């Protein structure tokens, strides 16, 4: 039963019969809370062509709909807005219709469609994942789940940046100062060990710059001539020429890092269907650039470097190969994009990357278009804002980042502290308590980050995110747990049927929220914004809590009402669980 489709059809029919006027689509929206009604038709778009008073048009359409659509109980007109009042029976039938569908709102995968590929995470193997990576991973994972919920097959992927000067910096410093240290001997996760030596490189580099400046060099000269930097550059050249010793060190340290990443991903609850490695894709990128040079798509400068001229597109020139033949990030991204469309039958691709790379992706898409790849028009950059802390921006090379693992532990500990202060865990075993702290802590973290529009910068505050009141993950999780408590007390009622003809306004409001869920998922996919799901779930929970506080659920003497309200509660609980799953958030059965 799709009321909106019915209304669209009948509104078109009304305009045709009354005014002999055809429209493609009517503009329908939820009625504002300060007016009576459920669905509002915006009449203003018809006024110019019909040359009629908007109030008159609205009155005529309203009368037609009340006569011809059984679900319309009444209507009222406010200016150019026709507010339609839906009969309670529609909402009652709607709840019955969706009740047995545990996956209501979620469309099964359509295997006849080509897949969408979503790239996220894309870490460097010279440091552990940090708070910025958490936002990236949560966005990418959630967008993947949201698209899946619309029926679109999705392939989740990451490109691991496992080569380049940054990787050589960690390798070189470990070689010089590590004394054979390993994750096992140090007790550090492999990614943290690599990160330790990346920070060490920066410290040594700054020391050498200071010494060179003291000996008479300018700061610019010192930055280029610092011995440790020259050694790192030499190591990169050795890597590119496949020097056996350098390759062995590279494989060893990257192996440590991958093991560390896998642990972090598992704890965060994200995964990938396919990993790509820059060390494998950059060669294809170089080959494609060289072919583009031969075809005159790119040009070479006097120093031997290869460039793309994008001035006709309003941009500037972009370096693709350095004078010494080494590649840049753009080269690798060209190769990776081509490889993905070769490997998989995909029709589109989303890159989940921070907004500091907006220009990079604008250039990448243009270059792929110049190279003649038709799918270049189906590449999208899910650009998101940075995550900032009260004390400012994070810097990996200076070791001032918020480590992802440490943050997840801190969130769990904060959840433990707050839960113990509230004192609601009597009868829980220690294992159950620890599981609950993790579910609440990670739920708070994920919800706090995902409820914000991706384009906006986030100022992250761990304490605020674990508030049990307001628009937070724990508040929503608590409502879910409350519903499960009701259901445990009313197990026998779940199997009974009910007959109702009238609803309390609070009941109507909850069912209206439930009805929106499929469209909310579609909107979240269209906007590539998990915040649409998060904020819908909060609105659903607010409506349910208002219903819970206003009218008795189990205390009513009317059996029909009791069964109806228990079933409504169960459906709200299922929808909360399904919605939060799209955000990668678990729900506790008890809190």
The answer to whether the beta carbons of residues 485 and 542 sit under 8 Å apart is no
Measured CA to CA in angstroms, residue 562 lies from 89, 485, 545, 553, 574 at distances of 17, 15, 17, 6, 18
- Please give the DSSP secondary-structure letter assigned to residue 106: P
| Same domain, residue pair 577 and 445 | yes
Tell me how far the alpha carbon of residue 209 is from its chain's centroid: 41
| Same domain, residue pair 445 and 531 | yes
* CA dist., res. 512 & res. 38, Å (int): 8
| Same domain, residue pair 353 and 477 | no
* CA dist., res. 193 & res. 267, Å (int): 19
First to last CA, the chain: 36
Domain with 72 in it: 3-86
* CA dist., res. 582 & res. 320, Å (int): 38
- Does 475 fall in a domain? yes
- Does 394 fall in a domain? no
CB atoms within 10 A of CB 22: 9
> What pTM did the predictor assign?
0.91
In this structure, what CATH number is given to the domain that contains residue 61? 3.30.1360.70
DSSP of 165-193, one letter per residue?
Answer: HHHHHHHHHHHHH-TT--HHHH---HHHH
Helices 244-268 and 131-149 pack at an angle, to 10 degrees, of 60
Token pair of 204 as six digits: 């040594």
Measured CA to CA in angstroms, residue 142 lies from 311, 451, 529, 547, 582 at distances of 37, 11, 9, 29, 6
> At which of 341, 359, 388 does a domain end?
388
- Does 141 fall in a domain? yes
Grouping H, G, I as helix, E, B as strand and the rest as coil, residue 236 is helix
In this structure, what CATH number is given to the domain that contains residue 184? 3.40.50.620
Helices (H), 295-357: 329-343
Token pair of 363 as six digits: 């250039």
Find, among 188, 582, 268, the residue nearest to 438 by Cα: 268
- Does 115 fall in a domain? no
- Does 60 fall in a domain? yes
| Same domain, residue pair 273 and 194 | yes
| Same domain, residue pair 424 and 524 | yes
* CA dist., res. 199 & res. 471, Å (int): 38
Contacts (Cβ under 8 Å, ≥6 apart) of 59: 77
State the total domains in the chain: 3
CA dihedral 352, 354, 358, 363 (to 10 degrees): -60
Find, among 32, 82, 33, the residue nearest to 62 by Cα: 82
| Same domain, residue pair 147 and 247 | yes
Question: Per-residue confidence of the chain (591 residues) as pLDDT tens digits?
Answer: 578 889 999 999 999 999 999 999 999 998 998 899 999 999 999 998 899 999 999 999 999 999 999 999 999 999 899 999 999 999 999 999 999 999 999 999 899 999 999 999 999 999 999 989 999 999 999 999 999 999 999 999 999 999 889 999 999 999 999 999 999 999 999 999 999 999 999 999 999 999 999 999 999 999 999 999 999 999 999 998 999 999 999 999 999 999 999 999 999 999 999 999 999 888 899 999 999 999 999 999 999 999 999 999 999 999 999 998 888 889 989 999 999 999 999 999 999 999 999 999 999 999 999 999 999 999 999 999 988 776 544 444 444 578 899 989 989 998 898 888 877 777 889 999 999 999 999 999 999 999 999 999 988 777 777 777 789 999 999 999 999 999 999 888 878 889 888 999 999 999 999 999 999 999 999 999 999 999 999 999 999 999 999 999 999 889 999 999 999 999 999 999 999 999 999 999 988
- Does 153 fall in a domain? yes
Which H helix or E strand runs over 288? helix 278-294
- Does 95 fall in a domain? no
In this structure, what CATH number is given to the domain that contains residue 570? 1.10.730.10
Contacts (Cβ under 8 Å, ≥6 apart) of 314: none
């Amino acid at each position: 039963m799709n009321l909106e489709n019915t209304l669209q059809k009948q509104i078109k029919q009304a305009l045709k019969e009354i005014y002999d006027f055809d429209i493609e689509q009517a503009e329908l929206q939820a009625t504002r809370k300060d007016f009576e009604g459920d669905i509002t038709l915006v009449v203003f778009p018809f006024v110019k062509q019909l040359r009629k008073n908007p109030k008159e048009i609205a009155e005529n359409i309203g009368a037609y709909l009340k006569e011809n659509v059984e679900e319309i109980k009444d209507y009222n007109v406010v200016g150019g807005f026709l507010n339609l009042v839906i009969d309670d029976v529609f909402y009652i039938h709607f709840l019955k219709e969706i009740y047995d569908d545990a996956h209501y709102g979620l469309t099964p995968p359509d295997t006849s469609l080509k897949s969408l590929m979503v790239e996220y995470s894309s870490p460097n193997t010279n440091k552990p994942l940090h708070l910025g990576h958490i936002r990236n991973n949560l966005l990418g994972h959630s967008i993947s789940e949201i698209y899946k919920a619309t029926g679109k097959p999705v392939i989740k992927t990451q490109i691991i940046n496992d080569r380049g000067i940054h990787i050589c910096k960690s390798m070189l410093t470990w070689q010089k100062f590590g004394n054979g240290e390993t994750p096992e001997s140090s007790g550090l996760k492999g990614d943290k060990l690599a990160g330790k030596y990346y920070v060490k490189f920066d410290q040594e580099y700054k020391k050498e710059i200071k010494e060179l400046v003291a000996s008479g060099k300018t700061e610019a000269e010192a930055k280029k001539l610092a011995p440790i930097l020259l050694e790192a550059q030499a190591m990169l050249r050795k890597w590119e020429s496949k020097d056996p010793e350098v390759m062995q060190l590279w494989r060893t340290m990257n192996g440590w890092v991958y093991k560390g990443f896998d642990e972090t991903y598992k704890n965060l609850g994200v995964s990938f269907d396919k990993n790509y490695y820059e060390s494998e894709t950059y060669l294809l990128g170089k080959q494609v650039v060289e072919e583009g040079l031969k075809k005159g798509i790119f040009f070479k400068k006097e120093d031997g470097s290869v460039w793309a001229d994008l001035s006709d597109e309003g941009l500037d020139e972009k370096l693709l190969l350095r004078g010494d033949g080494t590649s840049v990030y753009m080269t690798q991204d060209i190769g990776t994009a081509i490889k993905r469309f070769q490997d998989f039958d995909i029709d589109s691709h989303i890159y989940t990357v921070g907004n500091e790379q907006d220009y990079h992706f604008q250039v990448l898409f243009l270059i792929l278009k110049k190279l003649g790849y038709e799918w270049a028009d189906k590449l999208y950059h899910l650009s998101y804002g940075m995550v900032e802390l009260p004390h400012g921006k994070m810097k990996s090379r200076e070791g001032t980042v918020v480590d992802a693992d440490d943050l997840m532990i801190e969130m769990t500990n904060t959840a433990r502290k707050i839960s113990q202060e509230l004192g609601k865990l009597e009868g829980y075993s220690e294992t159950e308590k620890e599981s609950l702290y993790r579910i609440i802590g990670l739920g708070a973290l994920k919800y706090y980050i995902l409820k914000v529009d991706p384009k906006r910068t986030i100022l992250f505050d761990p304490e605020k995110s674990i508030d049990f009141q307001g628009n937070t993950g724990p508040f929503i999780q608590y409502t879910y747990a409350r519903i499960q408590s009701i259901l445990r007390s009313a197990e026998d009622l779940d199997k009974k049927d009910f007959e109702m003809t009238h609803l309390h306004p609070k009941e109507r409001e909850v069912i209206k929220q439930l009805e929106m869920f499929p469209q909310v998922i579609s909107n979240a996919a269209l906007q590539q914004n998990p915040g649409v799901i998060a904020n819908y779930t909060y609105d659903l929970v607010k409506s349910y809590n208002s219903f819970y506080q206003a009218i008795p659920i189990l205390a009513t003497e009317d059996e029909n009402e009791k069964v109806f309200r228990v079933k409504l509660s169960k459906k709200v609980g299922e929808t909360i669980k399904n919605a939060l799953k799209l955000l990668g958030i678990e729900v506790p059965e008890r809190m």
